[in-house]
Amino acid sequence: MDTVFRILAPGPVHRWGGAALVVARRADLHRAPSLSPAERRVLRALPAWRQAEWAAGRLLAKRLVRDVVAAAADEVEILPRDDGSPCVVVAGSPLPAVHVSLSHTARHVAAALAPQPVGVDLCETGSAAAVLRVADRVLSPEELSLVGTDRPDALAGAWALKEAAVKADRSSVFGAAPRRIAILRLHPPVLGGRRRAMVWWTDGAVLSLVLAYPAAPPGLPADLPAGRAALSPGPADREHPWRHCVGAPCPAG
């Protein structure tokens, strides 16, 4: 379909704003992740329909962690905190300076890793009608006017931005938190507060990445340049300590 968002290819690891991001088609993930005893206990406690997507997310997240941290595959764990958000654990020790976020749809899975709080979210464009039905829960009238109601990719992008932002805040898309995060522009995305965001189109889904900063990000431009440079490291990325690094479900499920 025609879309206003830049294309992100499934499979490779991409970089943006110092974060590492990967998205994959679930049908292309044939290898099961190596899970620790603690991870297997979490997996067994999930409903059967959730187990495959949970494991797929861990497979991608561990791939990103091993690109950043020198660790053997069986030393890396992605375990839930008390609030349910994922935490990186290496050799039994949590890594508070390494932030991870995961997202799943029926057809895709994505993971993002960053040195600051990060949120990633996928929303299939086929879920646009469902997004519209619940839009008043997450979008203000001004935001809905900005997004419009006639473009499935824009509706999916707005939902994914809100979801990624609350994940970066370790909050929830349910309740008042999404309404406190303002979408000031959708293309390219601009959010209120100390956040940087980007939205891509990937194989029938919209993917959003949000980085949250406790202070203004030094040396980073307010907006990402347009065009293919969107996925190329700029000066701030080249100076970033991760410079040697190599992306709640949609309302329709």
Per-residue pLDDT reduced to its tens digit, 167-188: 999 988 888 888 899 999 999 9
Between CA 2 and CA 28 the distance in angstroms is 24
pLDDT > 70? residue 65: yes
Report the CATH number that the domain containing residue 131 is assigned in CATH.
3.90.470.20
C-alpha 119: how far from chain center: 4
Contact indicator for 10, 25 with CB cutoff of 8 Å: yes
249 assigned to some structural domain: no
243 assigned to some structural domain: no
1 assigned to some structural domain: no
180 assigned to some structural domain: yes
How many domains are contained in the chain?
1
164 assigned to some structural domain: yes
pLDDT > 60? residue 158: yes
Which domain range does residue 25 map to? 6-238
Beta bridge partners of 202: 205
Per-residue pLDDT reduced to its tens digit, 184-209: 999 999 999 999 999 999 989 999 99
Percent over 70 (pLDDT), the chain: 84
246 assigned to some structural domain: no
Between CA 9 and CA 198 the distance in angstroms is 15
pLDDT > 60? residue 249: no
